[in-house]
């Protein structure tokens, strides 16, 4: 576990309401469209894509707000299904998860346990920053997963 403060940043993003089972469908559809639309703007990426979760409690049936965001150097005029916004400073605890998304819950569990043990309180806001993604389609199980990825889990402190 690492304490950190993420500096304010501008992002090009997509916002939606979903559940945990709904994430896989979004994984396959939204990021490619987001990057294609970003090419139409005069903005350049400044970091890896990230997913921001608001109100996700780990229950598969709970609806929560999700933003899929790409950090950019500036906002520009854009008319379409996505948008630009400024994110403020984000004080959080952080942990690097390496490997499949199917085991990312273990990274969250470890981060939560270490945070509570250290005496910090968490808010219901987290981010996953995808530093490295290598994808594969598992034909046997008919599912998509990143098998050799590096994901930084960030959980907001209260």
Cβ-based burial of 53 (10 A; exposed 0-12, middle 13-18, buried ≥19): buried
pLDDT the model gives residue 23 = 92
Q: What is the pLDDT of residues 111-156, one digit of tens each?
A: 999 999 999 999 999 999 999 877 655 444 545 555 678 999 999 9
d(CA 101, CA 106): 10
Q: What is the pLDDT of residues 58-115, one digit of tens each?
A: 899 999 999 999 999 999 889 999 999 999 999 999 999 998 888 899 999 999 999 9
Assigned fold of 2-157 = Multidrug-efflux Transporter 1 Regulator Bmrr; Chain A (3.20.80)
CA atoms within 13 A on the CB side of 129: 16
What are the domain boundaries of the chain?
2-157
| DSSP annotation of 61 | T
Predicted model pTM? 0.90
What is the band of 35 on the pLDDT scale with cuts at 50, 70, 90?
very high
Tell me the three state secondary structure of residue 157.
strand
């Amino acid at each position: 576990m690492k304490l950190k403060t993420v500096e304010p940043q501008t992002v090009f993003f997509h916002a939606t309401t979903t559940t945990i089972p709904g994430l896989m469908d979004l994984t396959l559809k939204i990021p490619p469209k987001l990057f294609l639309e970003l090419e139409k703007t005069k903005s350049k990426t400044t970091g890896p894509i990230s997913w921001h979760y608001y109100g996700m409690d780990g229950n598969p049936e709970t609806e929560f707000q999700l933003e899929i965001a790409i950090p950019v150097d500036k906002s520009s005029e854009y008319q379409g299904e996505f948008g630009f916004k400024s994110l403020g400073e984000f004080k959080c605890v952080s942990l690097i998860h390496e490997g499949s998304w199917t085991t990312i819950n273990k990274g969250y569990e470890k981060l939560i346990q270490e945070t509570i043990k250290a005496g910090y309180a968490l808010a219901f806001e987290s981010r996953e920053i995808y530093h490295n993604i290598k994808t594969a389609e598992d034909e046997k199980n008919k599912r998509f997963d990143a098998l050799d990825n590096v994901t930084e889990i960030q959980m907001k402190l209260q």
